[in-house]
Amino acid sequence: MKKLIILFLAGILFPIELPAQEISLKGKELFGDMRARHIGPALMSGRINDMEMHPTNTRILYAGTAGGGVWKSSDGGATFVPIFDDYVQSIGVVKLDPKDPDQTIWVGTGETWTRNSVSVGDGLYKSTDGGSNWNEIPGFENSERIASIAINPNNTDEVYVGVLGALWSDSEARGVFKTTDGGKTWEKILYVNPSTGAADVIMDPKNPNVLYASMWQFRRTAWGFNSGGADSALYKTVDGGKNWNKIHNGFPPGDLGRIAVQLAPSDSSIVYAVLETEDRTKNGLWKSTDAGQSWEHLNADFGLTVRPFYFSRITVDPKNPDVVVKGGLNGSISRDGGKTFKNLGNMHSDIHDITFHIEDSDIMYSGTDGGVYRSWNGGTTFEIVENLPLSQFYHISVDDAEPYNVYGGLQDNGSWYGPSSSPGGVNARDWNSVGYGDGFRVLKHPTKNIIYSEMQGAENVWRYDADRNRTKTIQPLPGKGDPELRFNWNAPMAVSNHAPDRFYMGSQFVHRSDNMGDSWTIISPDLTTNDPAKQDQSKSGGLSVDNSGAENHTTIFTIAESPLDENIIWVGTDDGNVQVTTDGGKSWNNVTANLTGIPENTWVYHIEASVHGKGTAYAVFDGHTHGDMKPYGLKTTDYGKTWTNIISDDIQENAFVRNIQEDYENENLLFLGTEFGLYVTIDGGKNWSHFTNNMPPVAVHFIDLQKKTNDIVMGTHGRGVIIIDDISPLRELNQSVLAKDVHFFKTKPFTMVEDSGFSGNFGAETQFVGGNKSTAARIVYYLKKRHTFGKMTMEVQDMQGNKVLTLSPGKSKGINVVNWNYNTYAPEMAQAKTLSFGGFTPPRVPAGQYKIVLKKGKNTYEHLIDLKYDEKSLTTLAERKEQEKFTRTLFDMVEDLAYTVYELNGIQNKAQEVMDKNPKGKKQAGKVYDALEALKKDLVITTGDNYVASAEPELREKMGDLYANVASSYDRISGAQKQNFELISEEWSDAKGRYQAIMDKEGKKFMSFLEKNDIAAPKLKSKEEFLKKD
């Protein structure tokens, strides 16, 4: 300690100036207190990849999600919390150490149900402290998707990892890996070839040297999928992976596809497999009763054979080898050892994993495309877990309502819109459905209460009249002589900035409608490469045809009309073309050849037409469907003739980019949506910072900037809508700001919002509730250094320097945000036996200018802010002023009473003292005590409690209630309030009279007794001192 003081002194004594040095414009400290808030929604949740049960504690289970990280439940699945928010959010498998399940958790990243829209993982992680901290296990960096982890229950240092591997390219980082030292070193013990990965790896828990591994040959491109080949096979080892043998005795000849394998925990000789073969009749469930030596085909029902790449999980009841469950469109359950199956009960479709409770097989947990479901009756009825905000947005947009709404479409969960803030927080019930199927782009008409939405491949495009609750389908349809229209799975649409009824859509052509989709005109030639090799989706899928439309290719993917000129329209295609027209579509300029550093045919994911210049635009490119994960982003200022790279090394090398959003004021401020979260630059792309404040590295598919609030709104593919409120401070950051010790950021005048609705929420106890945007004044400042030693305070003052309120300043290095609710101090209340509501009601300050005074050590920093009344106020300004004045009158009256009761108590205490100690004065003291007590009983409550044993209200309560009602009201003073005031004033005036009378009579005698007997008078604070605030 002493040393510290000396050190500080030493620093002050040697004031040597250093030459100015460049302060880095990046890093975590840049964002300081700016935190993202999550608004979900959770009502439709999102895709689950894997469920994991604790082996001994029935309260604990985990969900590994497709795009939203790892979630843990400690209450038997009633609620979940995220435990993997600092790492990649796409999860393949979660596994607990059988010996140390509370502390040691393994997570293999990268989802394994390989649909077109999957995210990617980046390796294997292990926690040894129950998920608080994680370490990446070296050696799996390129694994992309980890499907299985098997741990020897007798020696948990022995672990097998099944790596499915890269979906979009060849990779040698696949196969089965083994460690015998808890993960320090690994050996690849089963590998087939660069296109065949490990789909399932399971261990016989009774004999950990016995393992089964299914190897799967598979590949996805942007325009097709292939499951199966000569190299798919089911293997078994009985010597811990030294030797592997194919166990196909009974399987049909020919190629195999994805194979699911599972053994019955209660009888290891029973093994189930689900096959995808060349012979439809041989697909589905196979069973072995001799640990894989021979196989018998049992069932080829739809539920067992549907979409093997998406549904390939078998679960066997831990207590009964005849109860078998298979994931699928609806999920299937057999109670006769796999001979017959029925569907599981109603829940969200697409069931990827099912687990049984460890003690009661009636209880099941199901991981679906729409979250986690629980069953209490063996799978007949299911209920959803309501606090998993895993929604997977493809796209979002915002409107200009107050508060603004967020619109968006979701993987397998339709289209929705909901408010960015709502009374009590953004609840499930705040969201409105505006489309079926898979949802993608949802756009609000700029002026009318009309919403456009769509489903996959523009099979339906809806125009929804929200006021009249009417829907019309308006997708462009081919006319006579038109070729077949090719729409992307996620077909682009755009509304015009210049003509409100104008609406664009893209197939291979740009379609324009000037009447909200009633009729369409094609305004471009085919803008894609129109490569026929990428247009035959009828055979997509491999052994099982899977032509859902998800692989439609050579299509337009992004359309951007210039906000400055309606004739400038940019188009990007999924096969790599950037095209631009400057004459409203009469002629198109293919500028693809001018792109620099972008491999051919790289998906143009988004084009942002700039507000900073007609020829200025940003384009981002996503090569991951070619196995190229690199981030790509370019800027042009000359209509695409030349492009410059805006990506720096700060961005993770495999964080491919899907979206970019420019700031409308500062051209150098850009927001980049990548596979691993949000990046921000404040210098036009020279340096980028990863935004991580309450923002997991989740795939950001779309970003919008709400113009009025300056909020960044992100549609994430796995964590719903995430908002960063008011990013305007970032506009001001530059070298000179960063060099200052303290810098206050400019803020627009704050509106004191008068909303005062209700938010009852019974029945929503286990639901996710999204955070609201604060309506408080945001005081935003930059600190060059974290404040740790010495005092630092902040207060609000009026322009005369009177203290209005003390605030608690943030002390972080970087940006700090302090909220002020426009309140001043609550009144001092008269002391009583119970609490009065009035004492919890601080008055609001009037609109006007206020000083924020920050004191840090010896230095004082000041900043002015402006407050204004809500334009939607119910009152006139004169009425508001009258209410403020009336509030102040009542406030003073409440405090007058408080001081009177304080005085009265002080005298009573003295009287009590005299009664106790001084027999001579007992009579006089008693008189004054009793007289005051009688008065006090009319002033304040002296009996009862704060609940149902409460006493009748006395003057303090009546006065306090009136004060609180007037002070917290946003409306004019009511007649009833004025009448009530007259009554209370009169009572108060009477009471004061009574008090004076007592003091003139009994009080005077008592005081003179004290004086005569040299007893000190009651020691009382002055009124000013008594009422002093903090």
Partner 1 sequence: MKILKTLFVLLLIASVVPASAQTADEIISNYLENTGGAEAWNNIEGIKYAGTANAQGMTIPIEYYQTKDGKQLLKINLQGQEMTQFSFDGDKMWTTNFMTMLPEEADAEATHNMKNQAMDFPDPFVNYKEKGYTVELIGDETMEGTETFKIKLTRKPMLVDGVEEPNVTFYYFEKENFVPIATEAEVKQGPMKGQMLKDTLSDYQEVEGLYFPFAITMGGGQPVTMTEIVINPEIDEAMFAMPEVEETEDKK
- Report the residue number, 221 or 841, with the smaller CB distance to partner 1: 841
Q: Provide, rounded to whole angstroms, the least separation between the CB of residue 836 and partner 1.
A: 6
Backbone angles phi, psi at 461, to 5 degrees: -120, 125
Q: What is the rounded distance in angstroms from the CA atom of residue 143 to the CA atom of residue 134?
A: 18
List binders of partner 1 among 326-355 (CB under 8 A): none
Query: Among 429, 438, 402, 568, which Cα is nearest to 494's?
Result: 568
**Residue located via tokens 């409608």:** 513
- Report the residue number, 34 or 672, with the smaller CB distance to partner 1: 34
831 binds partner 1 (CB under 8 A): yes
- Report the residue number, 34 or 619, with the smaller CB distance to partner 1: 34
* Binder of partner 1 out of 466, 826, 915, 935 (CB under 8 A): 826
Q: Provide, rounded to whole angstroms, the least separation between the CB of residue 812 and partner 1.
A: 4
- Report the residue number, 943 or 996, with the smaller CB distance to partner 1: 943
762 binds partner 1 (CB under 8 A): no
Query: Among 214, 151, 145, 213, which Cα is nearest to 173's?
Result: 145
* Binder of partner 1 out of 24, 243, 587, 946 (CB under 8 A): 946
823 binds partner 1 (CB under 8 A): yes
* Binder of partner 1 out of 242, 707, 833, 881 (CB under 8 A): 833
Scanning 162-299, the segments in alpha helix (DSSP H) are: none
738 binds partner 1 (CB under 8 A): no
Instruction: With contacts defined by CB under 8 A, name the span among 14-22, 214-222, 391-399, 404-412 that binds partner 1.
Output: 14-22
Q: Provide, rounded to whole angstroms, the least separation between the CB of residue 784 and partner 1.
A: 7
* Binder of partner 1 out of 49, 415, 508, 834 (CB under 8 A): 834
b/e sequence 626-655, b meaning 16+ C-beta within 10 Å: bbbbbbbbbbbbebbeebeebbbebbbebb
- Report the residue number, 765 or 990, with the smaller CB distance to partner 1: 765
Element (H, E) at 542: strand 541-542
56 binds partner 1 (CB under 8 A): no
- Report the residue number, 505 or 796, with the smaller CB distance to partner 1: 796
* Binder of partner 1 out of 593, 878, 949, 1016 (CB under 8 A): 949
Q: Provide, rounded to whole angstroms, the least separation between the CB of residue 788 and partner 1.
A: 6
Instruction: With contacts defined by CB under 8 A, name the span among 13-21, 109-117, 256-264, 985-993 that binds partner 1.
Output: 13-21
811 binds partner 1 (CB under 8 A): yes
Tell me the residue type at 975. G
Q: Provide, rounded to whole angstroms, the least separation between the CB of residue 103 and partner 1.
A: 8
Q: Provide, rounded to whole angstroms, the least separation between the CB of residue 510 and partner 1.
A: 46
775 binds partner 1 (CB under 8 A): no
Parallel, antiparallel or unpaired: strands 750-752 and 859-869? parallel
Residues β-bridged to residue 215 = 198, 233
Q: What is the DSSP letter of 99?
A: S
14 binds partner 1 (CB under 8 A): yes
Q: What is the rounded distance in angstroms from the CA atom of residue 769 to the CA atom of residue 909?
A: 51
Q: Provide, rounded to whole angstroms, the least separation between the CB of residue 147 and partner 1.
A: 27
Q: What is the rounded distance in angstroms from the CA atom of residue 819 to the CA atom of residue 463?
A: 40
Q: What is the rounded distance in angstroms from the CA atom of residue 485 to the CA atom of residue 742?
A: 59
* Binder of partner 1 out of 436, 664, 825, 869 (CB under 8 A): 825
836 binds partner 1 (CB under 8 A): yes
Residues 6 or more apart whose CB falls under 8 angstroms from that of 134 comprise 84, 86, 87, 107, 125, 126, 127
* Binder of partner 1 out of 205, 613, 771, 944 (CB under 8 A): 944
- Report the residue number, 132 or 596, with the smaller CB distance to partner 1: 132
CB 233 within 8 A of CB 179: no
805 binds partner 1 (CB under 8 A): yes
Q: What is the rounded distance in angstroms from the CA atom of residue 175 to the CA atom of residue 190?
A: 5
The tokens describing 459, both together, are 């099979």
List binders of partner 1 among 73-102 (CB under 8 A): 74-75, 79-81, 102
The CB density around residue 2, as the number of other CB atoms within 10 Å, is 6
7 binds partner 1 (CB under 8 A): yes
Residues 6 or more apart whose CB falls under 8 angstroms from that of 825 comprise 805, 842, 1029, 1030
945 binds partner 1 (CB under 8 A): yes
* Order of strands across the sheet that contains 777-783: 742-744, 777-783, 814-820
Scanning 475-616, the segments in alpha helix (DSSP H) are: none
The tokens describing 903, both together, are 């005085």
* Binder of partner 1 out of 156, 530, 547, 824 (CB under 8 A): 824
244-247 own/partner pairs: CB under 8 Å, 24+ apart: 244/189, 244/190, 244/213, 247/212, 247/288, 247/292, 247/293, 247/295
Q: Residues in contact with partner 1, total (CB under 8 A)?
A: 83
- Report the residue number, 806 or 849, with the smaller CB distance to partner 1: 806
Instruction: With contacts defined by CB under 8 A, name the span among 339-347, 640-648, 799-807, 885-893 that binds partner 1.
Output: 799-807
The CB density around residue 99, as the number of other CB atoms within 10 Å, is 15
Q: Provide, rounded to whole angstroms, the least separation between the CB of residue 91 and partner 1.
A: 18
List binders of partner 1 among 874-933 (CB under 8 A): 898, 902, 933
16 binds partner 1 (CB under 8 A): yes
Give the chain's length.
1030
* Binder of partner 1 out of 24, 56, 100, 129 (CB under 8 A): 129
- Report the residue number, 15 or 481, with the smaller CB distance to partner 1: 15
b/e sequence 863-872, b meaning 16+ C-beta within 10 Å: bebebebbee
Q: Provide, rounded to whole angstroms, the least separation between the CB of residue 373 and partner 1.
A: 20
Print the binding letters for residues 698-737 with partner 1: x by CB under 8 A, - otherwise: ----------------------------------------
Residues 6 or more apart whose CB falls under 8 angstroms from that of 211 comprise 150, 160, 176, 201, 202, 203, 204, 236, 237, 240, 241
Instruction: With contacts defined by CB under 8 A, name the span among 129-137, 153-161, 229-237, 433-441 that binds partner 1.
Output: 129-137
791 binds partner 1 (CB under 8 A): yes
* Binder of partner 1 out of 738, 835, 935, 1020 (CB under 8 A): 835
28 binds partner 1 (CB under 8 A): yes
- Report the residue number, 521 or 802, with the smaller CB distance to partner 1: 802
What interhelical angle do 877-917 and 955-968 show, nearest 10?
A: 150
Instruction: With contacts defined by CB under 8 A, name the span among 419-427, 478-486, 710-718, 835-843 that binds partner 1.
Output: 835-843
